[in-house]
Amino acid sequence: MPAGNDRSQTRSADASHDSKTILVFGATGQQGGAVAEALRAAGWNVTALVRAPTSAKAQALADIGVALHQGDLSNGASIRAALAGVYGVFSVQPSSGQGAAYGVSDAQEIGYGKTVADLAVEAGVRHLVYTSVNAAGEEKTGMGHFDSKAEIEAHIRGLAVASTIIRPAGFMELLMLPGMGLDQGRFNFFLRPDQVGQTIAVRDIGRIVAAIFADPDTYVGRTFEIAGDRLTGKDLEKSLSRAAGRPIQYARFPDAVLESNPFLGHLAALFDDGRLAGNADIEGLQREFGPLLSFDAWLDGPGKPLLQRALEAGDADLALR
Ligand SMILES: NC(=O)c1ccc[n+]([C@@H]2O[C@H](COP(=O)([O-])OP(=O)(O)OC[C@H]3O[C@@H](n4cnc5c(N)ncnc54)[C@H](OP(=O)(O)O)[C@@H]3O)[C@@H](O)[C@H]2O)c1
């Protein structure tokens, strides 16, 4: 058993987390934000390493009781300082798949992910939760921002730290990015009309991670895919039309687009071979973690303002994460 799977390094589940602190990376972003919120709701002390503590997103974290620690993933000393005395770490990094948003290279993502894990070991962290991607695995995908995560996962498993690795499906939030055609009464994505793909609401990633930190005896040493719903292209058409209150016609991205854009073409191929479509045991996850948001429930709940914005927005270049 690799050192990272040693359950003796964990404490038992503890309903009151009063004296324990979790350091959350990426807390001003989607996954880290959901994790910080869910951990606070569960009673943990939460510290966030943020680049800009005075930003609106950082201040919203402060408003729910998150302690802000100014730092940067490229600055090891700032990470080391934020890690002092923490019980657990939630680790997420930006990726090259996010395009110009962060301008991060695959090598940088790998470096950040390994550094966070190495410094967590150095600091004596008791539980590290790393969020990867469903397509990551032993076999390379040929896409830098997925294979980067497989490399970080392998590094973590080889370290003397109790760890859990989750591999989320594509986020429901991703489906609302500009460039999919919603503002023009259509929706284009990678799935063929009858092809099934899995997806998850970011909010559920937060809930699942909070449950993982609460029960290390169950989750240390595990790597597993997470998803909350499975949908075909036709299902997307039905759900989006209902929620938009007008017809939204679904079609897979045209072949010409997939052929002329190697990045999108490669993603489509990974959906076709099943790796990006996802293989999470959704029913098993619901038994473990309670109800997870279906796409319909998400569209009526946390996704509602995102859908409204996507229906109104002008078309723009795709930025897939
Ligand atoms: N979208 C999907 O469907 C999907 C599915 C599976 C996996 N993923 C993976 O999820 C990851 C992104 O997660 P996300 O969507 O939660 O992120 P996100 O919303 O884009 O937020 C990124 C977070 O990282 C922070 N950050 C960026 N550069 C930093 C730096 N140098 N130092 C410290 N913090 C930094 C940002 O802080 P600032 O506020 O300062 O910018 C922000 O809090 C990517 O690796 C992606 O491949 C995405």
Tens of pLDDT, residue by residue over 258-316, are 999 999 999 999 999 989 999 999 999 999 999 999 999 999 999 999 999 999 976 45
Residue 309 lies in a domain: no
Domain span including residue 219: 3-169+202-226
Mean residue pLDDT of the chain comes to 92
Of 320, 196, 172, 194, the closest CA to residue 257 belongs to 320
Which pLDDT score is estimated for 245? Answer: 97
Residue 262 lies in a domain: no
Specify the residue with its C-alpha closest to ligand 1, atom 36. Answer: 26
Residue 32 lies in a domain: yes
Which pLDDT score is estimated for 14? Answer: 46
51 lines ligand 1 (CB under 6 A): yes
Residue 283 lies in a domain: no
| Residues linked to residue 49 through DSSP beta bridges, in sequence order | 69
Which pLDDT score is estimated for 16? Answer: 63
Which H or E element spans position 255?
Answer: helix 255-260
For residue 98, what pLDDT band results from cuts at 50, 70 and 90?
confident
Which pLDDT score is estimated for 87? Answer: 98
174 lines ligand 1 (CB under 6 A): yes
Residue 10 lies in a domain: yes
For residue 3, what pLDDT band results from cuts at 50, 70 and 90?
very low
Residues 6+ apart with CB under 8 A from 223: 132, 153, 157, 164, 165, 166, 167
74 lines ligand 1 (CB under 6 A): yes
Q: Distance, CA 100 to ligand 1 centroid (Å)? A: 12
- For 107-147, how does the pLDDT look when each residue is reduced to its tens digit (9 = 90+)? 999 999 999 999 999 999 999 999 999 999 989 999 999 99
Which pLDDT score is estimated for 7? Answer: 37
Q: Distance, CA 150 to ligand 1 centroid (Å)? A: 17
Angle between helices 30-41 and 56-63 (to 10 degrees): 10
Q: Total domain count for the chain?
A: 1
Tokens of 256: 């010409």
